[in-house]
Amino acid sequence: MIGLGIRLALSGGRGAIVGLGLTSLAVAIGTAVLLFALSFAPALADRDARTAWRDNLRPTTDAVDATLVLRIEDRVDDQLLTRIHVAPDGDPAAAPVPAGLPSLPEVGEAYVSPALARLMGDLPSDQLADRIGRVAGSVPDAYLASPDELVAVIGTEPEVLRAREPYAVTAFETDALALELPLIGVLILALAAIGALAPVAVFVATATRLSAARREMRLAALRLVGATPGQIARLAVVEALVVTSIGSLAGIVLFLVSRPLVARIPLDATTWWISSISPPMAAAVVMLLAVQVVGAIAALASMRRLVITPLGVQRRAAPSRPAAWRIIPLGLSLAALAASVALFRDPGLSEVERVGMIGGAFAAVIGAIAFAGPWLTVVVGSVLHRVARGAAALLAARRLSDEPRGSFGAIAGVIMAVFVASAFFTFTAFARLQAGSDVDPLLREGGIMAYPTGGSSLPSGIAETVGELDGVIMAVEVRSVALLEDGEFATDYGWVASCPDLVEVLGLVGASCAADGVNLLGSADLGGTYDVIPATAPSAGTAPRLGVEIRPDPSRALLELPADTRAYVPAFLLDPSAFAEPAGVERLPADVLYVGTDGSAAVGERVRTAVVAAAPDATVRLESERVAADSQFAEIGRIVGLGLIGTLTLAGCSLAVAVTTATLERRRQFVLLRSAGMAVGTLRSMILLQAGVPLAAVAIASALLGALVGSGILFVTSGVLVLPDATVVIVIGLSIAVAMAVVAMTLPPLERMTRPTSLRHE
């Protein structure tokens, strides 16, 4: 029986081979996608293990012979650069050494990653090498997150690090930290995984039915000559397993071949080691077996009518139409989703239970959409029949009404992808909102800002140093201050800086500076003699101070600012000329440096290098950079975006397979229509209408439902109402257009396949 089943699967001429090849290719694509999905978590774990030595820093308060470590996230050439400044604290010979390095680098030396070494050779030293130092060796690959990662372990003076609140570590860990995500982030990732896997399931199921019609005809003939239902079932399973086995093996090959390409997809600002993308063996075996089981079940399901009566396959009696009750599961699943979302904040439930309930209900909604789809297709077919004009529209409407299951099955993957995409756009909008941005909104085009971290201040004279660089127009130091009146803190917070220079470097169009150097905003109500101290001073008694007199004057000219920048400027700005001793402002620490440049990439790197060389812990931000304030939500948004791309891609593949299947199954009908005088153009129009009309109608409803579900989940669970932006309309429209283009790509062979001369072989 097995031998006969294999022979039947491989025989049948060129048409059978083409069907076998297409089905195997579709199964291969689905298998490769599932293997990549299984590899995601292990790849993340491998990355975390590689970077544990610098991510899992455990400080000690009574460290003896420790290593001082200061980790700085820098940027160069629009890429993330991680600088690890180290210095011995005690006996240098006893200080622990970062994993993989032979020793601590000396002051002015650095161990760098291979990618950073190459970039240092490509860029002038004043743009990169001057902030790294002399290269003493390489950071081994085993301790890098990816081959493209930019990492430098830099030897630094201990006194420089002690002033900047470093870690004092007695051992560099090799165990990765447990990933800690906010619960709403975990929920978004769980829903994204469920939504992304739904089109995979549809794709595999569609692929296994590609040759179903030909198999039905062949096995019906065997049934008529005496084969038992059990024998027919075994033959069907063997044929399906031949296809899925070939497809699974091809999927493994496709997975291995495409790993280098997938490894180039960045996540968390870096790419992947190819060896990291590897699924757990046990899970991979179970998944491959599951593909075989799905193929066998699909084959048995397609044989159900044949087992009952083989003549039914030949007669093709029209099945009963789907009834309106098919919409009920969708309503129930939406109600279950609403109930599970309402219980999300119940403290009596664990995080796993809360996420599991919402995830299960979300999956049920996706399944209910697929279940209700045939009935919606009947409705669309009825409407099309009423408005149809011409043979193509009438035949398409009749096909939608008579075979709604098959018609919807062709577009089911796209419909579910549109629903998932609408929800994904809501999730990514929420992630972008939570991620925020570290860029100062006051920066003009080409502007740069630098500020220290760890409670330190910018070194004296930094503005003069930066101002002499090629491409720099102006550099202005800003000192954040507070006012003391009779020894008590005033409520107002402000800046000390040259007002004309600050107005110029920030491009504050329309702003004007007061002649006496005291510039107030509309909210300021100051008058009298004040002591000016640093705003970050821990104690007023020990802070440096300067005296300033602010004369109350109702006619005083206020600092006029544009409305869109007024909220980002403090209540007052004191020019050095407002003080009796203008040079005394140098005693106040500078905590922000604003730089105006010509906007070139080279000057941005020069400024960054000069600032970092003077203050290793300084953060430098370019106006052109968009750096997220919360990197976790930024990465969640990227993950969901990758899932969106994969979902829409698989939906397109599923549609191509389904349309090809439908065309092959109806080839004989098309030949008869051509023989009766129908033009091939009319046949093509009929196929396009049959796919396009329900696709557009149901996709719009699915998109609205997806946006509603995504926004509702986020609003109830986080209290933030987020709607997808206008991009979702563009993407959904493009998705439908691409889907129709996929359908159109299957039409050129229609003329050759349906020539009336082929009836001679019937």
Q: Say whether both 428 and 465 belong to one domain.
A: no
Cβ atoms of residues 632 and 149 within 8 Å: no
Q: Are 590 and 497 in contact (CB under 8 A)?
A: no
Same domain, 522 and 594: yes
* Residue where one domain finishes, among candidates 253, 288, 315: 315
Same structural domain for residues 2 and 151? no
- Domain presence at residue 532: yes
In our burial notation (b when 16+ CB lie closer than 10 A, e otherwise), range 677-696 reads ebebebbbbbbbbbbbbbbe
Give yes or no for a contact between 153 and 98, defined as CB atoms under 8 angstroms apart. yes
Q: Report if residue 362 sits inside a domain.
A: yes
Q: Answer whether residue 723 is part of any domain.
A: yes
Pairing relation of β-strands 109-112 and 134-138?
A: parallel
Residue 739 inside a domain? The answer is yes
- Assess whether 613 and 640 both reside in one domain: no
Site of tokens 């005496």:
226
Q: How many domains does the chain have?
A: 4
Residues 483 and 602 in one domain: yes
One domain for residues 491 and 602: yes
Burial 429-463 (b: 16+ CB within 10 A, else e): bbbbebbeeebbebbbebbbbbbbeeebbbeeebb
Q: Verify that 420 and 484 share a domain, yes or no.
A: no
In a domain, 47, yes or no: yes
Distance CA 151, CA 464 (A): 30
**499 and 612 housed in the same domain:** yes
Q: Which residues 6+ apart lie within 8 Å of 86 measured at CB?
A: 67, 68, 69, 70, 98, 104, 105, 153, 154, 155, 156
Q: Tell whether 425 is covered by a domain.
A: yes
Report the alpha-carbon distance of residue 656 to residue 653 in Å, rounded: 5
Q: Are residues 462 and 574 in the same domain?
A: yes
Confidence (pLDDT) at 139: 94
Residue 490 has which token pair?
A: 């005033």
Check: CB of residue 544 under 8 Å from CB of residue 534.
yes
- In this structure, the answer to whether residues 480 and 610 fall within a common structural domain is yes
179 assigned to some structural domain: no
DSSP label of 114: H
360 and 455 part of one domain? no
pLDDT by 10-residue block (mean), the chain, 762 residues: 60 60 77 84 87 79 78 87 91 86 92 95 92 93 92 92 83 73 73 72 61 61 68 74 84 92 81 91 89 74 55 52 86 89 80 84 86 85 83 82 74 75 77 65 85 78 91 92 80 84 81 80 72 74 77 61 72 87 86 91 92 87 70 63 67 70 73 81 84 80 84 79 74 76 78 70 50
* Distances in whole angstroms, Cα of residue 547 to Cα of each of 195, 331, 486, 530, 577: 63, 71, 12, 6, 12
Which residue range(s) make up the domain with 376?
318-436+630-762
Report the distance separating Cα 453 and Cα 632, nearest Å: 20
556 contact partners, CB below 8 Å, separation of at least 6: 514, 518, 520
Of 622, 641, 660, at which residue does a domain stop?
Answer: 622
**459 plus 366 within the same structural domain:** no
How many other CB atoms are found less than 10 A from the CB of residue 386? 8
648 lies in a domain? yes
Q: What is the pLDDT of residue 314?
A: 47
Last residue of a domain, one of 577, 599, 622: 622
